[in-house]
Amino acid sequence: MAGTKTCAIIGSGIGGLGAAIRMANKDYEVTIFESNEEVGGKMGQISEGGYRFDTGPSVLTMPEYIDDLFLLCKKDPRDYWNYKQLDPVFNYFFNDGTVIQSFHGKERFGEEIASKTDDDAASIIKFLKDSETKFNITNEVFMQRSLHQPLNYLSMNTLKGLLNFGKIEAFTSLNDSNRLRFKDYKTVRIFNRFASYNGSNPYEAPATLGIIPHFEMNMGTYFPEGGIYKIITSLAQLAEKIGVKFKMNAGVDEIIVEGNKAKGIITNEEKIDFDVVISNMDVYNTYHKLIPSAIKPTKTLNQERSSSVIVFYWGIVKQFEQLGLHNLFYSDDDANEYQKLFKEHSIANEATVYVNVTSKMNASDAPDGCENWFVMVNAPHMKNQNWDELIAKTRINTIEKLNSILKTNIEPLIDFEKILEPRILEKAGQSAFGSVFGNSSNNKFSAFLRHPNFSSRIKNLFFCGGTVHPGPSIPLSLLSAKIAVGMVD
């Protein structure tokens, strides 16, 4: 598939891998430059002490977007990776002892909510139908194509989207919409939480984000055999097979711009010419570090940053039957939680805790009789906090919360520990200000005004990944790569 034209991909995250595979299929000679030792970017893994952890996103939806890359190369995806559908998907734990399970399909989840809360099944079914409607309105118009090219507005799908714009609730906050829909605060908290999927505040972000449950509950949530990192290794294997070259420990220092064209990159003091450059790096850092002299889209780059995370990777020398693959332990006051996170740039003493246990699905991820806990708490992006103090305090509060709900003492069960936090994300993950998702969606249109997948001032420079259009997550990052590559030539 190698051709005479050349393309540099900066970063080997899932967006970068997707872009590399698509560019190779356009007969480009493609080279991926990765500053770390392993492929995957933030979507990595830890294998130590008998435990294995996925380090990045843990929820997989729309696996067909991954399969598309193999089919594009005329390969059978099942020869490279496989996956199972989850049902139930999540266990939701509340302080009063209530445990709610989220199921695939509107009716079954409606029945679960009706049996555990003051809300009825009809309210859940209507919410999930409305979530599907939001998807149908925005999919072709927003997710599958660029919002930044005028010709894309000249289509029937766009016209239908504009005529139905009111149904996506862009002018109502997610929390206000959920408060109107549901009686029970437990139900409100469940659906408010989806704002955190792109690092946003449900008290400010638009109810358009109510589209996310459609992916998870209506369309299905999956687990890859071998863990999430299997997606990365499979795509890297495919990329190598079709001729993509990988340069590891090769961080890009500069994008070479001559006149108004990207001409190549500089890495490890070596200048290499390329016809096309695609950056999978945080778009803020791409401008400020790799093309510092270029005119910057300051209005876009200076929008409010998303939240970050603190993740405790714990090897636990016990198995907990009440836990599944995905578990959420809710705080009693999410208003205070988000106030602390986005207004005070701190973490509430009682914060919602997510626990992912892949050994429930992939037994080899932990020794016999043990479990691998990926324990995540939302954190603010970096803003002069005392991180050592905040992490230590959050660790104590997290253990206390889990102890209270699980009726146990976790501390002596921790056999292995590593911590991921905003300073590491900023340095190793190249995430500006340690924010995981680039800009937040904390105003009415920020979700629609992410940086485009191309540069309007520099020809032959394109962007993919979670910090640009259409947004973060495995599916959207793959779509960003598809959109970016579709603009080349």
What are the tens digits of pLDDT across the range 393-420?
Answer: 999 999 999 999 999 999 999 999 999 9
Tokens of 169: 């609730």
Buried b (16+ CB within 10 A) or exposed e, 42-73: bbbbbeeeebbbbbbbbbbbbbebbbbbbebb
Q: Right CATH number for 5-40+66-78+226-303+445-487 from 3.30.450.40, 3.40.50.980, 3.40.140.10, 3.50.50.60?
A: 3.50.50.60
Question: Which two three-digit tokens encode residue 124?
Answer: 């859940």
pLDDT, residue 205, reads 93
By CB atoms closer than 10 A (0-12, 13-18, 19+), residue 170 is middle
For position 142, what pLDDT does the model report?
67
Give how far Cα 467 sits from Cα of 110, 199, 305, 439, 441, Å: 34, 11, 10, 7, 11
pLDDT band at 2 (very low <50, low <70, confident <90, very high): very low
- pLDDT, greater one: 456 or 46: 46
Determine the average pLDDT of the residues in 8-28. Answer: 98
- pLDDT tens-place string over residues 440-452: 988 766 666 789 9
Tell me the one-letter amino acid at 476.
L
Q: Give the tens place of pLDDT for each residue, 78-119.
A: 999 999 999 999 999 999 999 999 999 999 999 999 999 999
Mean predicted confidence (pLDDT) in 181-190: 98
Query: Which residue ranges make up each domain of the chain?
Result: 5-40+66-78+226-303+445-487, 105-219, 307-427
Average pLDDT of the chain, as a whole number: 93
Residue 292 — very low, low, confident or very high, per pLDDT cuts 50/70/90? very high
Q: What percent of the chain has pLDDT over 70?
A: 93
User: Any idea of the CA torsion for 346, 373, 413, 351, to the nearest 10 degrees?
Assistant: 20
Residue that the structure tokens 């207004």 belong to: 343
253 to each of 267, 451, 481, how far by Cα in Å?
5, 21, 22
Question: pTM to 2 decimals?
Answer: 0.94
Q: What is the pLDDT of residue 153?
A: 47
Transcribe 167-230 into DSSP letters.
GG-TTSBHHHHHHHH-S-HHHHHHHHGGGGGGT--TTTSBGGGGGHHIIIIII--EEETT-THH
pLDDT of residue 137: 86
Note whether 457 and 427 are within 8 A (CB).
Answer: no
Spatial separation of the C-alpha atoms in residues 215 and 197, rounded to whole Å: 12
Interacting residues of 57 by C-beta distance below 8 A, sequence separation 6+: 43, 228, 473, 474
Domains 5-40+66-78+226-303+445-487 and 307-427 share a fold: no
Q: Which fold has domain 307-427?
A: Guanine Nucleotide Dissociation Inhibitor; domain 2 (3.30.519)
